Amino acid sequence: MNESAWLAQRDGGQPSLTPEDVARAQDRLKVRESRASKRWLRLLWLLAGPGVLVMIGENDGPSMVSYATTGATYGIGFFAPFIVLTFLMSFVVQEMTMRVGAATHRGHAELIFQRFGPFWGYFAMADLVFGNLLTLVTEFIAIQAGGLYFGVPAWASVGLGVLAVVGSLAFRRYVTWERALMALAAFNLLFVPAALLAHPDGAALARAFATWGPLPGGVTLSFVTLVLANVGASVTPWMIFFQQSAVVDKGLTKADVWQGRIDTAVGAALAAVAAIATLVASAALFEAKIDVSNFANGADFATALQPLIGRTGATLFALGILEAGLVAAMTISTSSSYALAETVAAAGKTAARHSLNLDFASGRLFYGVSIASTALAAGIVLIPHAPLLAMTLTVNIIATLLMAPALLLLLLLASDREIMGDLANGRLANQTGGAIVIAVSLIGVGYGIITAFPSLIPK
């Protein structure tokens, strides 16, 4: 039973408006006024948010460390255009996600439960919550790493990170929370000036995009691992759950789909620029032949880069790592809250409400999941002698391996004309989405094979 039906039943069959409904209606009124007056830039600004946040949020701690490790290991040759390809894949996936949310007005976990039954509903939720907890751990590794570069003790930086994540929930207003995170997410672009301070070879960068090369050392186990990590740095299950639920929480409708596409495309472009900038900045370590295999965390990259790109560049790099972890911790913990509360609401006879427009009394489960998962992840990071860099790279690999079932469920929902109407996938969208599912599955299978039989690939 959904929340509206439960409220109507509770109130004797009469619909009941909640403060959450009123808040969302006020936001929609501004959208209608802007559309009626043809103030298109203001309309786009009002509707922007879920796409930008999900893309920049995925430029998180493990993603930026993956890009840094890639640049330091292989330079810019093969991986600069490969990153663009992964974000094109991400746009295709997230554009479908946005359409499903706008067409159905249901969060992803709730919709899976309703369309495919309890087994798949619980499976999708468990898959997401498990993956999100692992990822949250790595976000606090990034926060810790950024703090360490500036001499802040690990316990202090991690503690401040927890306070920031929990404090963001106190806005109790989706739009305010969204705008605050978008302002913070802008600092992801600090990697761009850091890359410029590395004085990259423009001709070499252009040649990399033109030829997809060179690839020093050829195809090795390290190369395949970093390919997998880079895919996991731009296409992950939490993104689907977060954006669809955020679209619903924001109140987007079928009329807003074009603005939603632009929002998602802008987010993908900004995230790709920041990712390539991280690769370019870290390629200075490759040129200097510095071995990064023993680095413990993102702070080691910033420290190693300081003699090569200067103190300013290294500081910008460290701040970028810090921002990446903080924004992702806020978005990923919220995606867990959406998924768990939506599943409970879909499965039970009482309303487990799920919105950032709720007060704490009305959204105890929703906010509680975010706070509890944040605190648990932060505690794990503070365990002495934990292998932080290995954990960071492994999380992106796990995300890629978990992605195939999530993509398949999304593709089935986006193709379902009964719930999507004229927003359902056409033939081209289904073919493109199907190709992505197959590609991600093959990458995962390939990684499994070479992990089990490493002799198949030269070291």
How confident is the model over 340-376, as pLDDT tens digits?
A: 888 887 777 556 677 887 878 777 888 888 899 999 9
Class of the domain covering 38-456? mainly alpha
pLDDT at 6 over 60: no
Poorest-pLDDT segment among 15-24, 104-113, 251-260, 411-420: 15-24
How do residues 381-417 score in pLDDT, each as one tens digit?
888 776 666 666 677 667 667 778 888 899 999 999 9
The 3-state secondary structure of the chain reads CCHHHHHHHHCCCCCCCCHHHHHHHHHHHHHHHHHHCCCHHHHHHHHCCHHHHHHHHHCCHHHHHHHHHHHHHHCCCCHHHHHHHHHHHHHHHHHHHHHHHHHHCCCHHHHHHHHHCHHHHHHHHHHHHHHHHHHHHHHHHHHHHHHHHCCCCHHHHHHHHHHHHHHHHHHCCHHHHHHHHHHHHHHHHHHHHHHHCCCCCHHHHHHHHHHCCCCCCCCCHHHHHHHHHHHHCCCCHHHHHHHHHHHHHHCCCHHHHHHHHHHHHHHHHHHHHHHHHHHHHHHHHHHCCCCCCCCCCHHHHHHHHHHHHHHHHHHHHHHHHHHHHHHHHHHHHHHHHHHHHHHHHHHCCCCCCCCCCCCCCCCHHHHHHHHHHHHHHHHHHCCCCCCHHHHHHHHHHHHHHHHHHHHHHHHHHHCCHHHHHHHCCCHHHHHHHHHHHHHHHHHHHHHHHHHHCHHHCCC
Poorest-pLDDT segment among 181-185, 275-279, 296-300: 296-300
Predicted structure pTM score: 0.87
pLDDT at 191 over 70: yes
pLDDT at 88 over 90: yes
Q: Return the pLDDT at 396.
A: 62
